[in-house]
A and B are shown apart, each in its own frame.
Chain A
Amino acid sequence: ETGVTQTPRHLVMGMTNKKSLKCEQHLGHNAMYWYKQSAKKPLELMFVYNFKEQTENNSVPSRFSPECPNSSHLFLHLHTLQPEDSALYLCASSQEQTSPTDTQYFGPGTRLTVL
């Protein structure tokens, strides 16, 4: 079992809904990440927070809005999504972003379906 938890594990939402994904890490790490995993595509990095500051936004549409209130919690707020946003959303954490010797620890993911 990893020290990274994600809720909910499954989410079905309409295009006009607003929902949030939650991630919590119990590893004492300082960096947290959101990734998107679509069928037949590599994992795509969406956002990075290092010491609670957003350091990366990889051209993610504004309908995805991240929030990192502290080093242990990360949220992804969703609104007016499109069907092509259906994917597995993975959260990860590491000791800090700029450490080449540390790996990232992943949560189990939230399977999102947009109708």
Chain B
Amino acid sequence: KQEVTQIPAALSVPEGENLVLNCSFTDSAIYNLQWFRQDPGKGLTSLLLIQSSQREQTSGRLNASLDKSSGRSTLYIAASQPGDSATYLCAVMGAGSYQLTFGKGTKLSVIP
């Protein structure tokens, strides 16, 4: 059974810092890995999708990497802003099942 772990569970940084969020998964048989953002009491917003054959994806100040063989992904946020404060969720799509398995998320607070 696929398990997704996100470390740290919570992170607080001053505005302007670069930061890294970590995600690990136990089964490397995946189609893709996705990073989502969730604001309090709201739904999820897709940030980046990395297909299993890719190593990284970039969108603006966000860069996500994937090392499928080791079961790891990182989300790098450059020059953090207070508006980046949210919970960041990592999910993997299982090969064959097409189902997303989510981690518990990392709650990020960017202090002005």
CB-based contact A103/B49 at 8 Å:
yes
Q: Which residues of B contact A56 (CB under 8 A)?
A: 99
Q: What is the CA–CA distance of A41 and B75 in the complex, to the nearest angstrom?
A: 21
B49 touching A90, Cβ below 8 Å: no
Residue interface bits A68-86, CB-to-B below 8 A is 1, else 0: 0000000000000000000
Range for the number of chain B residues in contact with chain A = 20 to 34
**By the criterion CB–CB under 8 Å, are B32 and A111 in contact?**
no
- For A41, A48, A90, A106, the residue with the greatest tally of chain B CB atoms inside 10 Å of its CB is A106
Q: Which listed residue (A43, A98, A101, A109) contacts B42, Cβ 8 A? A: A109
Residue A30 lies at the interface, judged by CB distance under 8 Å to chain B: no
Out of B43, B52, B93, B103, name the residue touching A2 (CB < 8 Å): B43
Q: Is the CB of B103 within 8 A of A103?
A: no
CB-CB under 8 A from A90, the residues of chain B are 43-44
B104 interface residue per 8 A CB criterion: yes
Q: Is A100 an interface residue (CB 8 A)?
A: yes
Indicate the size class of the contact surface on chain A.
20 to 34
> Residue-by-residue, is A5-19 near B (CB-CB < 8 Å gives 1, otherwise 0)?
010000000000000
30 A-B contacts (beta carbon < 8 Å): A2-B43, A2-B45, A41-B104, A42-B4, A42-B103, A42-B105, A43-B89, A43-B100, A43-B102, A45-B100, A48-B99, A90-B43, A90-B44, A97-B98, A98-B98, A99-B98, A100-B32, A100-B51, A100-B52, A101-B32, A101-B51, A103-B46, A103-B49, A104-B46, A104-B100, A105-B46, A106-B45, A107-B43, A108-B43, A109-B41
Chain B positions near chain A (C-beta within 8 angstroms): 4, 31-32, 34, 36, 41-46, 49, 51-52, 89, 91, 93, 98-105
User: Which A residues form the contact surface with B (CB < 8 A)?
Assistant: 2, 4, 6, 40-43, 45, 48, 56, 88, 90, 92, 97-101, 103-109, 111
